[in-house]
Amino acid sequence: MSNSSTPPNECCIVTAKKASFYDQSHNMVFLQTLFLLLLVTFGHSFPRHHHHHHPSHSLLTDRAALLEFRKTIVSDPFSSLANWDEAVPVCNFTGVECDRSHNRVIRLILYDKGLVGLLSPVLSNLTGLHNLEIVRSHLFGIIPPELSNLRRIHSIIIEGNNLHGSIPDSFAMLSKLNILVIKENNISGSLPPSIFSNCTMLNVVDFSSNSLSGQIPEEIGNCKILWSISLYNNQFTGQLPLSLTNLSLQHLDVEYNYLSGELPAKFVGSWPYLLYLHLSYNNMVSHDSNTNLDPFFTALKNNSNLEELELAGMGLGGRFTDTLPSQLTNIRTLLLQENQIFGSIPRSLANLSRLFILNLTSNLLNGTISSDIFTLPWLEQLFLSHNYFKNPIPEAIGKCLNLGLLDLSHNQFSGRIPDSLGNLVRLNSLFLNNNLLSGTIPPTLGRCSNLYRLDLSHNNLTGSIPLKLAGLREIRIFINVSHNHLEGDLPIELSKLEKVQEIDLSSNYLTGSIFPQISGCIAVSMINFSNNFLQGEIPQSLGDLRNLESFDVSRNQLSGLIPAKLGNPKLCGTIEGISLCSQRRRWSHARLLLIILILVIFVSTLLSIICCVIGCKHLKVMISSQRTEASKNAARTELISNFPRITYKELSDATGGFDNQRLVGSGSYGHVYRGVLADGTPVAVKVLHLQSGNSTKSFNRECQVLKRIRHRNLIRIITACSLPDFKALVLPYM
């Protein structure tokens, strides 16, 4: 055995010695054999993972779980789960992926399937699952706490469903979780701190668009590699937790909550790789009691990778200064609208060379727009509306060749509309309304061939509507030049706007007639030519506009008839017999109320009359019935009280059982028998025929007459016998 440890060089030396060589070779063979035996022995003792998961305990279990989940789906509109069947291998199920080496289902991914049903706890039996992603369906119920059994899960994405309840605390056991997305549901309650207690692998958290409330837990800072947090559109309160500075965030979206406190200047310095910071529509304030933006903007100097900064809708106060760092060369979106920022637009904005969207709407900005801002080569959307900008719009605006949307509305811009706007061939939306602009509409706007929204209303524009502008065929939303001082005829080129939905030329000095070719605007739903000086008749071709909902030509000098084919109750104008629009609308509402009131009164009166008639008839019938019954009862009572009682047996005994030998006469209503009562009184018994329909009435009537009348020539009645099947009068036998 000692030779086995001989160094290699010594082995070489002794190879010449045959005996030694033999001995060593023998030892080497022995060692190799021993090694192989040990390898085989230990090899059998170690578990073999690829045989550990027997199909009977893995794929069969997974199949059973998926088929059980399928039973909870009550609607599958696209038959997405049609092949989830016993006859189909589970690995071929739609949305299912297997790891065949381990015989397990590892992914269940169902996007846009429209499934309706329960998010069943049975999915927790898929214990080999790595990815569970069910997006944009209609699953309901709560998030099953049993999903915490999925200890190998890496990604849970349950988005766009109808789940309610809270986030299970048991998710803390999912230590391998990288991505947790439960967004666009109806989840409520607070965010459990426990789910951040064992989150060493967690990268992405997204609970946006739910109804979560309370504070963001400090424990979220335990997730050291967490780089994306999205809590957008919930009801979180309080301040951002300080523990967020422990993270290296790239994406933070907490918009549309109720978070308070100062803008997180101390936080952003801890996030050098920050790409997206969305804080809009919370209750945050700027520094120094909401008067100073500089500390926050200055703190962004280390965030050179920042692409989106959104601070809108919080009423942030402070002057817009040059403190916005020039290092933000990658920023593409800057949203500061709906705040209280004042001052002028700083020249430093021109350093944001990749800026794509700039929104400063609804602030307190004033002064002149610097021409430097129009040197931004990638700027596509510029929103400056609802501020206090003055002076003319710079001609340099024509340098923003990529500009697609320009909104300068609701300011105090004066002067002419720049001709250079015609250079913006990619412009699709232009809003210059509600300013103090004057002069003519530049014909160069006709070069903006992609324009589909144009609003120049509420200015002091003069001249005519340029023919090229009126012929912009791509205008498909609206063209509005109302409330100006435009004159001239309606341009016939308007008839080329086949896609336009709204045309508003009202409150100008336009003349001429409405041309029949207006029917070429086949998509139009609203036309407003009111408050002009239009003449002539309304063309009958307007009846061809099937989408027309509102047509206003009031306060003009039109004549003739409204086209019968329009059939639109909202039509108005100054045509004889037609009121002005505003008056007509008021009259329409008043008339409608009057008609409703009259109908209510009429129907109520009619119902009252009907009820009275029915009630009277019912009362009359009831009284008549009561009288009849009373008469019967009275007759019966009076017979009993005024005459001595006599029974059927007494009459039968008196007449010998109504023997025919005692029959003294017959009539249409019965027979008369001779008899002798028990006291010896001779009587005549008149027995009525009950088969006659009137026999009962005749009996009662005769009883009443004989009872009430007294006359010497009339025979008085002694008594009577009245039974349901037998009626008889007992008279003296003369």
Annotated binding site: 686
- Check: CB of residue 58 under 8 Å from CB of residue 102: yes
Q: Structure tokens of 355?
A: 């800026």
How open is the CA angle 61-64-68, to the nearest 5 degrees? 140
Picking from 724, 733, 663, 734, the residue whose alpha carbon sits closest to that of residue 699 is 724
- CB-CB neighbours of 133 under 10 Å: 17
Q: Structure tokens of 541?
A: 């071709």
Alpha helices in 209-356 (DSSP H): 265-268, 287-290, 294-299
Question: Could you give the strand order of the β-sheet that contains 364-367, starting from the edge strand earlier in sequence?
Answer: 317-319, 340-343, 364-367, 388-389
Q: Phi and psi dihedrals of 683, rounded to 5?
A: -135, 160
3-state helix/strand/coil string of 691-715: CCCCHHHHHHHHHHHHHHCCCCCCC
Q: Phi and psi dihedrals of 28, rounded to 5?
A: -65, -40
Quickly list DSSP for 120-147: -GGGGG-TT-SEEEEESSEEEEE--GGG
Residue 430 parent element (H or E) = strand 429-431
Pairwise CA distance, residues 492 & 315, whole Å: 47
Q: Structure tokens of 591?
A: 């008339």
3-state secondary structure of 664: strand
Pairwise CA distance, residues 688 & 727, whole Å: 6
Q: What type of residue sits at position 359? A: N
How distant, in Å, are the alpha carbons of 432, 433, 491 from that of 439?
13, 14, 19
Pairwise CA distance, residues 11 & 290, whole Å: 87
Beta strands in 153-302 (DSSP E): 155-159, 162-164, 179-181, 188-190, 204-206, 211-215, 228-230, 235-238, 251-253, 258-259, 276-278
- CB-CB neighbours of 438 under 10 Å: 16
Q: Phi and psi dihedrals of 372, rounded to 5?
A: -65, -30
Residues contributing to the annotated binding site for ATP: 686
Pairwise CA distance, residues 125 & 268, whole Å: 43
